């Protein structure tokens, strides 16, 4: 009986045999070649903007700590999320230190306390005094089962960015704005039809019911004191306050007092609208200030920041949008080494300065707020000391839920807003008070949907 190799020689041409031989040898070389070693702790992240800063910081760390080196792994957002969850659920390899964005963290809290793939850091934070040193509300997204599973990367307080050149040219004094009602009253003369077609070409605020803006809707809800889940992670979509906020948002988006336009952040179309002056103001977390400086340099010297208008007199003048933590995987071989790297990347003054200089994110560590970098004028924002402005609002950012169902609940809240806007247009009703009964009905339906869904999860039913 002829060998398999002999039969292949009869079928293949000499050239084909050579190609096959080369392929086989190459495979053997790849299999047995020693791989270049990546020494030390693996730090997984998902954003290129952080990677630029961390590469420099880890290079410095590695020079100073040759016995505790670290290397960076950068992943595409969705691929990162899949690998993280598969690692925790199926035991496939994950990084030792893992940077996680708020929308990623919820699914990791779906099961029991023992199912969470991150190390519980609560006692370590308490024992080292970090619970007092770090801005307290910044822990909330990373807290589940009554325990904290990550060090917050940021605070992400929110201010209002506005086209100071257009506002001041119109002789408008923004110091008269305390509430969102004041915002509309004072700035509404800037809503204009610029091309004579009978439709406005300039609006006051960037906001829409687009899925791209769902987190902005949530930020405004939180500012008003509303919430999607209570402290026990029970859905509370149908609260009276939520219905009131939903009705008021609808009047911002449709009808004779419409003041909003869809100008999504971090998109070419949205940036073009801002440069043209199609939208006067935007809700701006600290990270967005860095993005504007990078993407729209032509607006330098034309933008100013101010506290958000409150929903009611005496109300909160900020909110929170976005957020990231760093956690340590339970599979990390040496917790103490990982813990040291995590604190260096997130809590050290040098990292805080690099983060603000690079992308305008302020540190959650209160002692870092005295760093000179936060108190320097910024030419892009007309010489304002934007670090000071963001830091002033940091202690007042609202708490956030870490429910694994937060994203879905937000989608249902956004769906209710879409339906309410359709209802207002169809019924020609644009008074917030008149819209509240329908807002309550829509949110009641969303609440029932969430309760049915969560009731299927036997683990969440017993979570604190």
**pLDDT value, residue 29:** 43
pLDDT per residue over 155-213, tens digit each? 999 999 999 999 999 999 999 999 999 999 999 999 988 887 878 989 999 999 998 89
Q: Do the beta carbons of residue 125 and residue 354 sit within 8 Å? A: no
Q: Which segments of 305-368 does DSSP mark as H helices, in order?
A: 335-347, 349-359
Residue ranges of domains in the chain, CATH in brackets: 41-156+322-396 (3.40.190.10), 158-319+402-462 (3.40.190.10)
* CA separation for the pair 40, 396 (Å, rounded): 39
pLDDT level of residue 456 (50, 70, 90 thresholds): confident
Shortest CA distance to 117 belongs to which of 103, 101, 126, 105? Answer: 105
Shortest CA distance to 257 belongs to which of 184, 199, 207? Answer: 184
For residue 286, what are the contacts with CB-CB under 8 A and spacing of at least 6? Answer: 154, 155, 156, 157, 360, 361, 362, 386, 390
* CA separation for the pair 462, 227 (Å, rounded): 21
1-5, 21-25, 356-360: lowest mean pLDDT where?
Answer: 1-5
pLDDT level of residue 4 (50, 70, 90 thresholds): very low
DSSP 8-state code for residue 115 = G
**pLDDT value, residue 283:** 98
- Of 266 and 397, more confident: 397
Looking at the chain, the whole-number percentage of residues with pLDDT higher than 90 is: 84
Q: Which two tokens mark 263? A: 């100008």
pLDDT at 461 over 80: no
Q: What value does the mean pLDDT take over residues 204-231?
A: 95
pTM over 0.85: yes
**pLDDT value, residue 38:** 63
Q: Do the beta carbons of residue 137 and residue 165 sit within 8 Å? A: no
**pLDDT value, residue 194:** 81
Return mean pLDDT, the chain. Answer: 91
9-23, 37-51, 72-86, 124-138: lowest mean pLDDT where?
Answer: 9-23
Shortest CA distance to 247 belongs to which of 429, 399, 33, 452? Answer: 429
Give DSSP secondary structure letters for 238-286. T-HHHHHHHHHHHHHHSSTT--EE---TTSHHHHHHHHHTSEEEEEEEH
pLDDT per residue over 264-318, tens digit each? 998 999 999 999 999 999 999 999 999 999 999 999 999 999 999 999 999 999 9
């Amino acid at each position: 009986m002829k060998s398999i190799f002999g039969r292949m020689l009869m079928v293949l041409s000499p050239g084909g045999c050579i190609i096959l031989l080369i392929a086989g040898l190459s495979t053997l070389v790849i299999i047995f070649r020693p791989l270049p070693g990546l020494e030390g702790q693996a730090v997984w992240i998902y954003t290129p903007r952080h990677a630029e800063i961390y590469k420099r910081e880890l290079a410095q760390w590695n020079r100073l700590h040759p016995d505790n080196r670290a290397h960076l792994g950068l992943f595409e957002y969705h691929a990162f999320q899949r690998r993280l969850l598969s690692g925790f659920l199926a035991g496939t390899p994950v990084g030792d230190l893992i940077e996680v964005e708020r929308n990623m963290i919820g699914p990791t809290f779906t099961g029991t306390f023992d199912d969470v793939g991150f190390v519980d850091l609560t006692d370590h934070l308490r024992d080292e005094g970090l619970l007092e040193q770090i801005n307290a509300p910044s822990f909330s997204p990373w807290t589940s089962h009554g325990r904290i599973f990550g060090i917050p990367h940021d605070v992400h307080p929110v201010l209002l960015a506005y086209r100071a050149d257009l506002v001041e040219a119109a002789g408008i004094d923004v110091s008269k704005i305390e509430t969102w009602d004041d915002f509309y009253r004072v700035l509404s003369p800037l809503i204009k039809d610029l091309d004579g077609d009978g439709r406005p070409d300039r609006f006051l605020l960037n906001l829409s019911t687009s899925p791209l803006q769902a987190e902005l809707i949530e930020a405004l809800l939180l500012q008003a004191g509303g919430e999607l889940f209570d402290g026990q992670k029970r859905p509370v979509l149908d609260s009276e306050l939520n219905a009131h906020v939903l009705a008021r948002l609808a009047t911002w988006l449709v009808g004779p007092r419409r003041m909003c336009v869809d100008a999504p952040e971090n998109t070419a179309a949205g940036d073009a609208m801002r440069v043209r002056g199609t939208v006067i103001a935007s809700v701006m977390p600290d990270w967005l200030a860095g993005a504007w400086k990078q993407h729209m340099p032509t607006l330098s010297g034309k933008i100013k920041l101010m506290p958000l208008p409150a929903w009611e007199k005496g109300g909160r003048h900020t909110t929170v949008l976005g957020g990231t933590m760093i956690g340590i995987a339970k599979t990390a071989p040496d917790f103490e080494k990982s813990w040291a790297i995590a604190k260096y990347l997130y809590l050290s003054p040098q990292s805080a300065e690099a983060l603000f200089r690079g992308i305008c994110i302020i540190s959650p560590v209160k002692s870092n707020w005295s760093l000179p970098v936060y108190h320097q004028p910024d030419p892009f924002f007309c010489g304002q000391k934007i670090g000071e402005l963001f830091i002033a609002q940091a202690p007042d950012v609202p708490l956030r839920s870490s429910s694994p169902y937060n994203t879905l609940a937000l989608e249902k809240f956004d769906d209710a807003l879409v339906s309410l806007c359709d209802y207002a247009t169809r019924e020609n009703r644009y008074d917030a008070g008149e819209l509240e009964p329908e807002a309550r009905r829509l949110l009641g339906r969303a609440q029932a949907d969430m309760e049915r869904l969560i009731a299927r999860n036997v683990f969440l039913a017993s979570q604190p």
